[in-house]
Structure 1
Amino acid sequence: MAKVEIYTKDWCGYCARAKALLESKGVAFEEYDITLGGPKREEMLERAPGRTSVPQIFIDGSHVGGSDDLSALNREGKLDALLGL
């Protein structure tokens, strides 16, 4: 199964939606809460240049994008393959 990382904030509905989609597929993920900023926020900005919104999602180190991007991959039938399902 792929390594999934997701940068989130506490109050973020899009983050909750992305996590719910991953959980519905039984996929474990590493969540980085950047609500208060800090080094993980800086890391996200380096890994996803120009993207300041959350969530930002990475699958096996490749930037997927945000919640809408994740949902689009799922609708197109491409997400399961990326996740190694």
Structure 2
Amino acid sequence: MATITMYSTRTCPFCVQAENLLARKGLAVNKILVDQNPDEFATMIARSARRSVPQIFIGERHVGGFTDLLALEQAGQLPQWLADAED
């Protein structure tokens, strides 16, 4: 199964929406709370070149935020991204 990592904060509604979308698909998320760890916030910025949350990765591939994840799902591309990450 593909590893899904989501950089998040405790109060981010888009993070909750992303986590719920993935949970409905039966997918586990490795959630990293960047508001509790400045080093992880720096890692998130280095990996994504973005400062907003959520930042979602499937394997090492950067999805983006919730709207990017939702667009993948609506376009039917999320299963392929998950499959590609398992290779």
Give the secondary-structure state (helix, strand or coil) at the position aligned to 1:77: coil
Match of 1:54 in 2: 53
Match of 2:11 in 1: 11
Give the unaligned 5+ runs of structure 1.
Answer: none
TM superposition score normalised by structure 1: 0.92
Match of 1:78 in 2: 77
TM superposition score normalised by structure 2: 0.90
Percent identical: 39
Match of 1:24 in 2: 24
Q: After superposition, what is the alpha-carbon deviation per residue over 1:14-72, rounded to whole angstroms, capped at 9, x for unaligned? A: 000000000000011110001234111010010011x1100000001111100000000
Higher helix share: 2
Paired letter, 2:64: G
Match of 1:44 in 2: 44
| RMSD, matched Cα | 0.9
Large movers: runs of 4+ above 4 Å: none
Give the unaligned 5+ runs of structure 2.
Answer: none
- For this pair of structures, how many residues does the alignment match? 83
